[in-house]
Structure 1
Amino acid sequence: MLSAFLQMGKNLKTVSPFRFSSFLRLEEDPVLALRLFQNPNPSSPKPFRHSALSYDLIISKLARAKLFPDMEQILLQMKQQRHRFVPKESLFCHVISSYGRSRMPGPALHTFDQIPSFGSLRTIRSLNSLLSALLACREFEKIREFYLDLDQYAVPDACTYNILINACCLNKSLCDAWNMFDEMRRRGIQPNVITFGTLISALCANSMLDEAFRLKEDMIRVFHVKPNVFIYTSLIKGLCQMNELDLAFKLKDEMLSDETVALDSAVYSTLISGLFKVGRKGEIVGILEEMRGNGCKPNTVSYNALIAGFCGEKEFDSAFAVLDVMREEGCKPDVFSYNVIIAGLCKEARLRDACDLFEDMPRRGCFPDVVSYRTLFDGLCNGKEFKEAAQTLDEMLFKGHKPRAVSVQKFVEGLCKEGIVELLGSVLNSLMKGNAIDIDTWKMVIGIVCHKSELLKTCAVVDSLRMA
């Protein structure tokens, strides 16, 4: 798209802001879009006057790509054009949300504070964007500060209270969540399905099923709000956790009787996990058949529930068979699929099989993540396969992943107790290079070596580190 635009620029003396915006919209590469924006009309000596739409487009593209320094430069440039146009509040909402997704609460707050300086008005929409960004960053105290001065910024709406209720639930303050719900009603703000879904999910997560079902009845009878699939899934999951499978199936049947609620794979995946948990795996075939009959094709989450269930039953051949079925049906296993099997194999001390699957993951089109490395490393350490554990540790650190501190201590302690000095020196050196060793581990090494009075081994470790 950039080359086409440059070619057009050779044939035309000038490009209109409207046509330029069209080219900018079509350019998918944010870096090329930025180059296009910075040099819109190279054949003309006159400065190009970007439209409000052009600024909106480039800032949105850079925000999505997390190119925040470049985005901030364009924002500053746009600010100098406030005598020509006033940016829409929605643009700042997009920027704030992008910072929230990137776990950058400071810049999100700064953007919100700067909105008036662009000549734009701050309404409840930008406040809600900020509260949502702060929630993504788990900035509960900052959210509370805004709540205490809520009316200073805007008149809150249902979205505002949904975010506040969710923050209370995530902060394990169910009492505060209920207070928010009551305050919402006192203000005359009608709760919606998201409000009830958030509260019911939190109640189920805290094993307060009686309260969750009462709230479900109230939302229908008092507030005339119908449950959605998320609410049903939360209730079914809560019932399965309490081993109330019969009630869970009744609730699933209630969903089937409501034509406005479509069952999804999450419901069936939850039921599959529940059946494994209570030893009723013989019913799973029927669940899968019903699932397909209702037009709900099994997906990765569904198959992962099967894999986890079979691994829990130590039926690894069945778990591997699920991987084969997934490939045959065009459903690609994800890293969780493999991690569950690797964890199960390690737990049963089938370390060779775990290593083989781990090494085979790239060939299968799925690369190990930090959980894969940590799981295999811990399994090898528990099995006292120190040489293989050291190789896995080196690869893990090379990939930029870090082992758990407790795993490092356990591994180093094992090397010290076994007196494997040469490998210990190499491991300590790797941990130092990867910045993955803490002072407690060093104290443990020195303490164990000195306690045994193995001066030669101490010197050997030091020499090994010096040579590395």
Structure 2
Amino acid sequence: MLSFGRNCCFKYPGTYFRRGNASNHTNTILSTNSFCPKFPDPNYPFGKNPRSTHFFHHAHKLDLFLFQINTSYTQFPIPFAPFNSHYSTKAPSRSYQRRARKRLLKSSKPTLDQAQFQLALSQLPPRFTPEELCNVIARQNDPLVCLELFHWASQQPRFRHDVSTFHITIKKLGAAKMYQEMDDIVNQLLAVPLIGSEALFNMVIYYFTQARKLTRAVNVFKHMKSRRNLNCFFRPSIRTYNILFAAFLGRGSNSYINHVYMETIRCLFRQMVKDGIKPDIFSLNSMIKGYVLSLHVNDALRIFHQMGVIYDCPPNALTYDCLIHGLCAQGRTNNAKELYSEMKTKGFVPSSKSYNSLVNSLALGGEIEEAVNYLWEMTDKQRSADFITYKTVLDEICRRGTVQEGTRFLQELQEKDLVDGHAYRKLLYVLEDDYGNSVSRIDSVGL
């Protein structure tokens, strides 16, 4: 991008663009004849008056094409833009959408109900206690009134907020998603030494994770750990770690992002064990799920084998579901079937996700008959298969067998009422698109 000074000119073939100063503003408006391509005036016959050329022969249309160069310091990515490009046809960027959304939320921000606020003040005695203020705030439905009551009480002489007033105010603001106002109250809380509780800080961490402010949540967690006084009862607990585990597991949408967050989850898990906090089933399942999402299935299996031996916490159905899905995603169908058999012996029923993963993996591996058997077992267990599973099995049957077998499978799905009319037509279109006239003999029932 080029930057030009105040007194400069742009040179084009046969034309100069000069920038005037602020006092000579009229010189900054240039005629179109000075820089636009010149075309013959159609009012004159060919060959006559060749020097009289204009951009347009209608003089009143010249105002639409005047080009003005601003007298301020400006950067020009190109000398000038097309004259008819008044508006951009590109989609707005994400940053612009965020700024527009923030401006819209700020403009539509509700105002304080003064009547409700005065009514709440009338319910407080002259020398009110933190408990009385907490009860009044708890009865309010308007979070702005709660916030104003908190600030008003802070200005009263001989009154100090305690855990209860901070707790109820932050809860009201967090439930209303007024995260910026809640952040201000949290800063006041962290500035007061020896005030807090485990439930209060856990709630603060939870609402910060809901607001996608993971850095603030981790800072509050570090604040809980920094207290060396044994009399403080707000050290991190297993619930604190579980809130952070759930927050980090829900942030990523691909394996790379999950891999980055998995490093943080692993550090938190080690810190939890080092502090003498025994992991529960939620913490262990979070570790297994994180390893599966980051494509570290062997590490997930290591945690699985340590659950009953080291942590004295046997796996549940969710544990098996995560592992079966992760193994099938990597094509390790035999290991997935072993876990499936172990899961059934313990009385657990796989979820729809596990069944779908297992059926797809078997079908893609060439084990069509076994995949179909798992599919029928899946329907018997009241687990629903998705369209991708039906399509995968149907494609593999037609590709490895015959088209007639695929049509019979599709008709069987319809007879068992496993697919509705819309899904049946989509599967039928798949057969017609892939195999052409080979399915012309299929019964048109349901069309």
Higher strand share: 2
Higher helix share: 1
Rg larger for:
2
